[in-house]
Amino acid sequence: MEKQRYSHWLVLGILSFLFVVGWHVLEPISNAVPVFFYSMVLVCTLAFHFLFYRAVVQEQRFRSVDHLLTVATITGILAFSSTLMADLSKQLMSGPWQHRAFSELIDLARFYVVLSYLLFLLFLFKKLFFYQKRRVVLLLWRLFSLLTITASLSSLQGYEAPMVVLRLALAVGVLLAFGLALQIKWIAFQDRANHWVSIGLLSVIVLVVFGLGQQLRRLDLPFVLQGEPGLDLFISLIISLLLIYGIFSILALFFNLPISSVMEDKDSEIKSYQELHNMILSNDSPEDVFKKLFAVCMSNTSSDGGWLQLQEHGVKRVEQLDNLQEGEVAMLGLKLRLDQRLSIDSAKDHLYFPKLSRSKLKGNTRLLNQFGSLLIYPIIVQGNMLGKIGLLKVFNDGFDDYMIGMGKSYIQQSKVLYENVSLLKEKIDADLNKEQMKVARSVQKGLLPTDFPTSKYVSISAFSESALEVGGDYYDFHQIDESRFAFVIGDVSGKGTSAAFHMAELKGIFQSLIQLDLAPEEFMKLANQSVNNCVKTGLFITFTFVLMDFKTGRGVYSRAGHCPLLIFCESTGEARYLKDEGIAFGIMESEDFVQHQQIYDLHLNSGDVILLYTDGITEGRNATTGEAYDGERLRQVLHRNRHLDSSSICSRIYNSFKIFTEGDEHRDDASLMVIKVL
């Protein structure tokens, strides 16, 4: 049934082309039918095939970009091979006995094959243009399609467009082709291996298109090509777009290779964080978690050897070895005095020996011959030394600052997650009596920042109040450098212990991702991916991410289904809500999520105020009237107190909210963060 919707275009296209063939090879038809009518049928042939391939490609579903390019490549090779075979048969039949009609029939068949492939490839590339489609892309495509169709109409006999007009049309078409050639967002979603596959497939496609274009130039069809400048322009526009887009994509893939390699490393780091996170949440034993931590450190630092040593009540035991012997581990600890070095400075988070040959290991030639550098990470949880991770590389200076920092980050985040989640689960999984819930509330409060840095650029204050003993509201910040800050606020669906548990997970996700210095769009994508992996089905998290450089007054933000930002602008004297779009975490997978996510710019000046809040503020109700506190009342309170510092603004809003909602038994968790630019 689906094919019936567009098969009639193919039937009409074939019938009209058969008439064109008959006009060329059968003299009675060419004598009886005027050239103008013939040219009209030729234009109809182009139009019918244009409509057919537009419909047939639109209905097709491809598993991936590589699948699409593979189909285009195989079809192109078949088309090119068939035209070569037709050319070869024409040459074999050449001679004084060859009839002109046979030669034209062969050339017309080659023309039909080339035309069909070019139109098929054009609409395959259209799917790549429209990857994450935008309005400007749709405009460029419509302009190019209109120009191409107009070019075919100019081939009608009786009207010959001036050469200057044809050249101008070709120039405009090339400019539009360059505009469409910039629509290569699909490249960002290709991994390194797929980059090389795409480069190879696109290279073949470009060569095939170029070869088919050269074959068209050699066709002896004066009434189809050389004699019809309009049709020449029609073909030239399509070939130009295909070649420009193919070459642009190949160059972009080449230049994107180093970036894709880095992003794959970043993805590997994110997955490692998630694996450690999930192991902790699944109640795995500490030994299993530390074994996984060792494997992650080995893999992501590309170490050539290493060991995991755990200790309990002063008794040490080697849990895992890689390319080492247990006696060599003991010898390294003794010769390098590892325990003494770590006990002298308990705050030391690593020991690094960049050149083992200069250390006191001269008695062990195997170690010195096989390894050149050593990195030690102590595992200290709640002040207790639980063990060590040792990593070795075969050459000197094998670990750079990035690798050392990455390993420290793995261990630090694992400890934070382990401590926070374990403590929260211990308190919540107890008898759930009031006293224990108070402890859980205290623990959760400890996960929310209360002490904000003193800065000459910004003043920050916040408050959070749960409807029950614990709740699902979360806010946090991270100071990147002197003037750059990242702020987040989130709201886990539901209330009570379940929401509080996932709030602790959200903190772990934020603290893990913010260390990687990701672009905002990548941060939001990976945060959603992490929530999908960690949070059970049916729950979702609304979230807002703000990244500001207060020195320049510029920043960006993205909203994942959370309450809109409320901003007071000193320059206008007005407080207003920023209207934007975004969908909550945990609802869609990453590929669908990014299509609904937007990054918005912020421009702030001295005296401006930003409010980040949860819906418990605006949806809080008056116990007597049932009226909601609502966004307008919040906006008015901010406007009245705009001249105060962040702490005073926060207090005024809190007091206003508490008085208004006094006695409300159905209130939600309520949180607020006030950011004032100094």
Angle between helices 100-129 and 65-92 (to 10 degrees): 170
Residue 478 domain flag? yes
Instruction: Look at residue 205 in the predicted model and tell me its pLDDT.
Output: 92
Instruction: Assess whether pLDDT exceeds 70 at residue 517.
Output: yes
Nearest to 168 by CA among 151, 181, 149, 156: 151
Contact 521, 599 (CB under 8 A): yes
Contact 169, 236 (CB under 8 A): no
Residue 49 domain flag? no
Residue 42 domain flag? no
Same domain, 557 and 627: yes
Residue 463 domain flag? yes
Instruction: Look at residue 282 in the predicted model and tell me its pLDDT.
Output: 59
Same domain, 457 and 520: yes
What confidence tens digit (pLDDT) does each residue in 201-252 have?
999 999 999 988 888 777 766 555 544 444 577 888 889 999 999 998 888 8
What's the domain range around 394? 286-417
What confidence tens digit (pLDDT) does each residue in 64-84 have?
888 899 999 999 999 999 888
Same domain, 494 and 634: yes
Listed in sequence order, the residues at least 6 apart from 468 whose beta carbon sits closer than 8 Å to its beta carbon are 437, 495, 496
Instruction: Look at residue 381 in the predicted model and tell me its pLDDT.
Output: 77
Same domain, 240 and 355: no
Same domain, 506 and 411: no
Residue 334 domain flag? yes
Contact 605, 558 (CB under 8 A): no
Q: Among residues 260, 275, 307, which one ends one of the domains?
A: 260
Residue 231 domain flag? yes
Same domain, 467 and 611: yes
Instruction: Look at residue 488 in the predicted model and tell me its pLDDT.
Output: 94
Question: Number of folded domains in the chain?
Answer: 3
Residue 669 domain flag? yes
Listed in sequence order, the residues at least 6 apart from 156 whose beta carbon sits closer than 8 Å to its beta carbon are 36, 39, 40, 43, 230
Mean pLDDT estimate for the chain: 81
CA distance 474 to 488: 8
Query: Where does 446-587 show beta strands of DSSP type E?
Result: 458-465, 473-479, 484-492, 541-549, 554-560, 566-569, 574-577
Contact 558, 602 (CB under 8 A): no
122 is written with which tokens?
């054009």
The whole-number average pLDDT for the span 276-288 is 64
Same domain, 496 and 560: yes
Max mean pLDDT among 28-32, 164-168, 415-419 falls in 164-168
Residue 14 domain flag? no
Instruction: Look at residue 181 in the predicted model and tell me its pLDDT.
Output: 84
Same domain, 291 and 253: no
397 is written with which tokens?
């200076």
Same domain, 290 and 240: no
Same domain, 97 and 242: yes
Same domain, 403 and 481: no
Q: How confident is the model at residue 554 (pLDDT cuts 50, 70, 90)?
A: very high
Q: How confident is the model at residue 270 (pLDDT cuts 50, 70, 90)?
A: low
Instruction: Look at residue 364 in the predicted model and tell me its pLDDT.
Output: 64
Q: Tell me which residue has tokens 């699909």.
A: 186
What confidence tens digit (pLDDT) does each residue in 455-478 have?
899 999 999 888 776 677 889 999
The CATH number covering residue 320 comes to 3.30.450.40
Listed in sequence order, the residues at least 6 apart from 34 whose beta carbon sits closer than 8 Å to its beta carbon are 157
Please indicate whether residue 611 or residue 492 has the higher confidence score (pLDDT): 611
The whole-number average pLDDT for the span 13-42 is 72
590 is written with which tokens?
């990453």
> For the chain, percent helix, then strand, then coil, each to nearest 5?
55, 15, 25
For residue 310, list its beta bridge partners: 317, 387
Same domain, 479 and 622: yes
